Amino acid sequence: MSVLHGKNILLGVTGGIAAYKAAFLVRLLVKKGANVKVVMTDSAKEFVTPLTLATLSKNEVLSSFTDEKGEDSFKEPKWNNHVELALWADLFLIAPATANTLSKMANGASDNLLLACYLSAKCPVYYAPAMDLDMYQHPTTAETFKKLESFGNIQIPAAFGELASGLVGQGRMAEPEEIVSFLENDISSKLPLRGKKFLITAGPTYEAIDPVRFIGNHSSGKMGYAIAETAAELGAEVVLISGPSVLKLDNEFVKIIRVTSAEEMYHAAHEYFNKSDVAILSAAVADYRPSEMASEKIKKKTDELVLQLTKTKDILASLGEIKKDQFLVGFALETENEEENAKLKLKKKNLDLIVLNSLRDKGAGFKTDTNKITLITKDNKTLPFPVKPKKEVAKDILEYIIEQTNA
Ligand code: CTP
């Protein structure tokens, strides 16, 4: 999945011949799963119609401070709130960006909606210059670029080639495909977990009694899968060791290893732990397994059947024993003396962080889509969070880890 998926992209289109390519650009961005809104200058409308861009982006295209449609002359004109629009955006892309608009950006001019959005934007701003060869080479253009760079704006360099004037040189706007790849690469390279390797366990384990029966638990794996997916979205390379779960996760940065029993999970976790920077063990591992697995289905011959159970290996504790620089996170599900028990577990298993969820809380637990957690840190700090969707909970946990591991 592209890093642009789900991103709010404000596309600013200015008046150069390359504006016709904005239509392709909108289409590509929408295809990547981005939400696109377009603002354009009046002169851009000479090159591409607002209707084309509105149809492709599935959003109204704005170009002036007030609604210019004039459908109803009795109505007061609607004010197009540039601040709201700019704050909506996760990124602002100006393509094509003409010399005129770039120079106005560099000097704080605000005589159209696009420029007002630029001045109001708090998100990263990218621009793809498009101008003729001589304009591109003019010293004032170099100065403009320098100024915009000092504001933190990111240039998507113009390409070398034949220009609308017939001249050949640099100044042609990068192709829409190149612009999209540039955005993807730039965003990926800045993700906070880029280069980090994560090991995550999730779901229940099944401990076989005989070929058709097992001891298991109600864990769905939702929490662990949400952490795996979110970590990958934040740039991590994830190995997700999953006990039996119906969940699927389609992300090229998550490798799923499916296991059944605690013993299998133990071996898989040990195989990947040394290569990991962070390990988060959210699986609800069975604490006991039948001492013997019957080779044939057990027949109901007697009124009572006694199963002898043997303790499984504690995966989390075993990783705590061998850990070097890894940041190790455990989960605790407690029903009484919650914080005290969780703190003891954190110490005993040599963890850096423990995520406490209490079955007493409404909206917390195994099969729900929400969870309520308290993070307990190595230095005994307690950080409670309200009930949230599991994806949001995953973000809270990962944000704390990012803070700690980049410190
Ligand atoms: N865990 C594990 N391997 C086990 C049992 C538990 O890795 N065999 C991990 C879980 O993934 C979780 C943490 O240990 O991160 C806490 O598990 P929990 O069952 O709450 O605690 P236990 O240490 O098993 O203690 P108790 O059951 O007595 O509360």
Q: What is the pLDDT of residues 4-21, one digit of tens each?
A: 999 999 999 999 999 999
Tell me which of 298 and 166 has the higher pLDDT: 298
pLDDT in tens, 152-185: 999 999 999 888 888 888 899 999 999 999 999 9
Residues 168 and 264 in one domain: no
Q: Which of 168, 82, 102 is nearest to 133 (CA)?
A: 168
Whole-prediction pTM: 0.85
Query: Measuring CA to CA, which residue among 96, 167, 99, 174 is closest to residue 133?
Result: 167
**Ligand 1 atom nearest 269 alpha carbon:** 7
Residue span of the structural domain in which 391 resides? 197-294+306-405
Convert the pLDDT of each residue in 38-85 to its tens digit: 999 999 999 999 999 999 999 999 999 987 555 555 667 788 888 899
Ligand 1: centre distance to CA 229 (Å): 23
**Residue located nearest, by CA, to atom 27 of ligand 1:** 287
Residue 167 is predicted with a pLDDT of: 85
pLDDT, mean of residues 206-229: 97
Mean pLDDT over residues 208-225, rounded? 96
Q: How many domains does the chain have?
A: 2
Give dist(CA 18, CA 132) in Å, integer.
Answer: 11
* Residue 317 belongs to a domain: yes
314 ligand 1 Cβ < 6 A: yes
Beta bridge partners of 40: 13
Burial of 208 (0-12, 13-18, 19+ CB in 10 A): middle
| Residue 12 sits in the same domain as residue 43 | yes
> What is the chain's mean pLDDT, rounded?
94
**1: in domain:** no
231 and 288 in a single domain? The answer is yes
Q: Ligand 1 centre and the CA of 283: distance in Å? A: 8
Q: pLDDT higher for 321 or 160? A: 321
Q: Are residues 178 and 212 in the same domain?
A: no
Nearest ligand 1 atom, CA 201? 11
135-141 average pLDDT score: 96
For ligand 1, say whether the CB of 262 is within 6 Å of any of its atoms: yes
169 with 224, same domain: the answer is no
Q: How far is it, in rounded angstroms, from Cα 111 to Cα 105?
A: 11
- Tell whether 2 is covered by a domain: no
Predicted confidence at residue 73, as pLDDT, reads 58
Residue that the structure tokens 């094509």 belong to = 96
Q: Where are the beta strands (DSSP E) in 116-158?
A: 125-129, 154-155
Is residue 299 one of the residues assigned to a domain? no
Active site residue 81: no
Looking at the structure, tell me whether residues 342 and 381 fall in a common domain: yes
Q: Number of helices (H) and strands (E), helices first, in the chain?
A: 13, 21
Contact 103, 138 (CB under 8 A): no
- C-alpha 296 – ligand 1 centre gap (Å): 30
* Mean pLDDT computed over 341-359: 94
Two structure tokens written together for 247: 């969940």
Q: What is the pLDDT of residue 75?
A: 67
Peptide bond into 211 cis (omega under 30): no
Non-local CB neighbours of 150 within 8 Å, separated by 6+ positions: none
Q: Is the CB of 317 under 6 A from ligand 1?
A: no
Model confidence at 195: pLDDT above 70: yes
Q: Are 202 and 283 in contact (CB under 8 A)?
A: yes
Residue 68 has a pLDDT of 59
* 316 CB near ligand 1 (under 6 Å): yes
pLDDT of residue 165: 85
**Spatial separation of the C-alpha atoms in residues 105 and 54, rounded to whole Å:** 25
Distance CA 309, CA 294 (A): 13
SS3 222: helix
Q: What is the CATH number of the domain that holds 237?
A: 3.40.50.10300
Q: Which of 133, 161, 189 is the last residue of a domain?
A: 189
**Looking at 130, 161, 189, which one is the last position of a domain?**
189
CA of 314 to the centre of ligand 1 (A): 7
> Tens of pLDDT along 259-297?
999 999 999 999 999 999 999 999 999 999 999 999 999
Pocket of ligand 1 contains residue 328 by CB under 6 Å: no
pLDDT tens profile 110-128: 999 999 999 999 999 999 9
